[in-house]
Amino acid sequence: MTIWAHCVNFFTEKIYQFKLTYAKKIAFFSAEILHISKICSTFVPGNHKFIMKRFILGLLVTALTGIYCVPAYGWGQEGHRIIAKIAYDHLKCRTRKKVDKIIGERGMIYWANWADEIKSDNIYPQSIKDGWHFQDLNAGMSDSLVADVLTHYPAEGGNLFRALDSLEIEMAGEKVLPLNENHILRFIIHLNGDRYCPMHIAHMDDKGGNTVRMKWFGRDTNLHAVWDSKIIESQGYSYTEYAQMIEDEYKDMKREIMNKSDEQLLVESYHLTEAIYQHMQVWDGNTYHYIYTWRQPMERQLYIAGIRLAKWLNENL
């Protein structure tokens, strides 16, 4: 293999590792690219140095573009783990044993993000093609129209509630295969979190907030990404710490959450979504003000999602 090929492989591996972890910051990655370029350039013949510089620039642009184009997922990784942890803590003993048997000990936490991770695979293409993770709604809908979405599935804008109903019916079947049972449960755990994320029942015309541009501590982002992960990440907790804090803070709401119907909770989530959109008209652009305004409503949604997931599992497994 030529020195040039070694340089190409070196850069490609760096980008691949970065995209797998999402952990390094853009500034660090840029510095890393430039540092490696100096090392590689010492092995490149003089007549190829101009090409090498163009190649490095192309890699940097491609990498940074890739970082900004990472799709936003419902609640993000930490959010889904928080929901699963809250739910796991509220399972009855017999339910917990059955869940652990199907998906592995504490597996409902560890696999909470699986339904997002397989978007890069073709194992369940219909989950992407048919929009299992969201149900976009229109602005200004009446409570009755919103509640009706649970039983009369909209023809467009996603299939979150249709998918959940189908999966839950299949999970209750007597002849479900072990592997199917495992995967179905992973979907149910994840999608029951998505249904309480405000931007997963958001407006159809802006793709669930994805085209609503915002600045977050000076960086470009969008409304969907803010509610998926950025408010959560701003608190600096691990998922276990955040789940425990939320359980301690909102435990007095549990009885009320348990007693409400799916229709009532969907309508309340929709009202929250509409309030988020309305706030964008008056927000002063200060990220700290935004976090102060919406942290607790966001935490309540995480708690509701966890308690309702536990309720479904306790009643159906």
What's the pLDDT tens digit per position in 262-282? 999 999 999 999 999 999 999
Residue 164 pLDDT greater than 70, yes or no: yes
Mean pLDDT, range 208-235, rounded to an integer: 97
Residue 31 pLDDT greater than 80, yes or no: no
Q: What is the pLDDT of residue 53?
A: 55
For residue 71 the two structure tokens come to 């799709």
Q: Does residue 250 sit in the same domain as residue 289?
A: yes
Mean pLDDT, range 41-58, rounded to an integer: 54
Q: Does residue 161 sit in the same domain as residue 300?
A: yes
CA 208 to mean position of chain CA atoms: 13
Q: Does residue 63 sit in the same domain as residue 81?
A: no
Beta bridge partners of 30: none
Residue 16 pLDDT greater than 90, yes or no: no
Mean pLDDT, range 201-217, rounded to an integer: 96
- How many domains is the chain built from? 2
Name the phi and psi angles at 219, rounded to 5.
Answer: -105, 145
Tell me the CATH number at 234.
1.10.575.10
Beta bridge partners of 221: 214
Cα of first residue to Cα of last residue in the chain, in angstroms, is 57
Q: Which helix (H) or strand (E) holds 219?
A: strand 219-222
Helices (H), the chain: 3-21, 26-41, 49-68, 76-89, 93-103, 107-110, 114-117, 125-129, 143-148, 160-171, 178-194, 223-225, 231-233, 239-250, 254-259, 262-280, 287-316
CA dist 107 and 89 (Å) reads 13
Name the phi and psi angles at 77, rounded to 5.
Answer: -65, -45
Q: Does residue 62 sit in the same domain as residue 97?
A: no
Name the phi and psi angles at 158, rounded to 5.
Answer: 110, 170
Residue 104 pLDDT greater than 90, yes or no: yes
Q: Does residue 35 sit in the same domain as residue 112?
A: no
Quickly state the pLDDT bin for 174 (edges 50, 70, 90). Answer: confident
Handedness of CA 139, 144, 145, 149 (dihedral sign): positive
Last residue of one domain, picked from the residues 51, 68, 85: 68
Last residue of one domain, picked from the residues 21, 45, 68: 68
Q: What is the pLDDT of residue 41?
A: 55
Residue 33 pLDDT greater than 80, yes or no: no
Q: Does residue 274 sit in the same domain as residue 163?
A: yes
Residue 61 pLDDT greater than 50, yes or no: no
Residue 195 pLDDT greater than 50, yes or no: yes
CA dist 209 and 29 (Å) reads 28
For residue 213 the two structure tokens come to 């541009």
Q: Does residue 151 sit in the same domain as residue 225?
A: yes
Contact (CB, 8 A) for 229 and 199: no
For residue 253 the two structure tokens come to 């709401």
Quickly state the pLDDT bin for 172 (edges 50, 70, 90). Answer: confident
Mean pLDDT, range 100-120, rounded to an integer: 94
Q: Does residue 49 sit in the same domain as residue 116?
A: no
Q: Percentage of residues in the chain with pLDDT exceeding 70? A: 77
Q: Does residue 128 sit in the same domain as residue 171?
A: yes
What's the pLDDT tens digit per position in 248-257? 999 999 999 9
What's the pLDDT tens digit per position in 120-142? 888 898 898 899 999 999 999 99
Residue 71: closest CA among 228, 276, 294, 195: 228
Quickly state the pLDDT bin for 21 (edges 50, 70, 90). Answer: very low
For residue 175 the two structure tokens come to 């002849």
Round the average pLDDT of the chain to a whole number and report it: 84
Q: Which domain holds residue 52?
A: 3-68
Query: How many CB atoms lie under 10 A from the CB of residue 287?
Result: 19
Query: How many CB atoms lie under 10 A from the CB of residue 187?
Result: 23
Per DSSP, the three-state class of 100 is helix
Residue 7 pLDDT greater than 60, yes or no: no
Residue 303 pLDDT greater than 50, yes or no: yes
DSSP strand pairing (213-216 vs 219-222): antiparallel
Last residue of one domain, picked from the residues 52, 68, 84: 68
Q: What is the pLDDT of residue 92?
A: 98
